[in-house]
Amino acid sequence: MKRLFFLFVLLSSQVFGQGGLGSVVLPGNVTCENEYINVAPCGGVDTITYKGYTYDLVEIGGQCWFRENLKTTIYSDDSPIDYPGTDEVAWQNNTTGAYAWYDNDSIGYAPDYGALYSWHAVANPLGLCPVGWHIPTDCEWMYVEGTLGMSTADQESTGFRGTDEGGKLKESGTAHWDSSGAGVTNSSGFTGLPGGHRYAIGFFINISRSGGWWSSTESSTSDAWYRIMEDDRISVGRYNYAKTFGFSVRCLKGANISSSKESINFRRINIYPNPVANYVVVEPEHPSTLTLYNAQGQLLLTKDINHTHTLNTSHLSKGIYFLRAKSEKGVYSQKVIKQ
């Protein structure tokens, strides 16, 4: 039988060719020309419970988002996230991932605003979001901005850009924001709140005045992209800040099939045949944990393998699936078509 060999190139996203996880491309967007955007709907589900908290969901442009900021203090595998608390030096020096409650006050701020996370927590392979969900990439932020009317040129620019897209994403009224002028409608349902920030050197600032949300995309080895909304603006800011800043996080439905453009690596894993019928053979270079997702981002299978392994696919319906192999060297994903 002829074997198909796939060389996984880790760029700003895995390049799957046409198709993808219910995906689209951003026409004319040079920044995202190789990235496919997860577009997985909520499917009529209004809430999700994760690590002891229940979050409202909202569908924007066909994508299913958390309508609230993340609050988890543990990763998806139940490992604890570092909590430096009042130790500003520990916050500055943390490189594996940390969270904070604004002003170290969980009672006063956590219920409404959630936690503030360093980008190192965003990037931690243990995962902040539920399995089958992920933190949006810079391009996925551009996609939702585009669905709200932002031009392609503005999507790719930095600073505050666009017209009233921020007003469509911010909670209206002054229950949480210091001010809320004309153009703040929350018509998207995103309900952006001003959860403030934790500076890289450890202090807190801007509760009720601004909210920032990480993307999962690096801009350099030291910085990463995020979005910011402010009380006196109805546009959306796109900036790159130090990975040790603390910002809010939202989860987006769909398996995470993206990685950093700055980290260009080459890994080999053999998967055959593809398209598949009754089985698929996986040959990893390193001991790996395999996970299989359907096109809606639902986890179907988890399997630890050390060598060549044959997966039974005879029970799967026809369609598109995503097979991930996670090892100490990284996470590699491949689209698999079941005929």
Query: For residue range 237-289, what is the model confidence (pLDDT) as tens digits?
Result: 999 999 999 999 999 998 765 433 333 333 456 788 888 888 888 888 888 88
Q: How far apart are CA 279 and CA 206, in angstroms?
A: 54
* Residues in Cβ contact with 182 at an 8 Å cutoff, skipping those fewer than 6 apart: none
Arithmetic mean of pLDDT, 78-98: 95
* Residues in Cβ contact with 4 at an 8 Å cutoff, skipping those fewer than 6 apart: 270, 271, 272, 273, 274
Query: For residue range 153-204, what is the model confidence (pLDDT) as tens digits?
Result: 999 999 999 999 999 999 999 999 999 889 999 999 999 999 999 999 999 9
Query: What domains appear along the chain, each with residue ranges and CATH number?
Result: 5-14+264-338 (2.60.40.3080), 47-253 (no CATH)
Name the β-bridge partners of 227.
213, 238
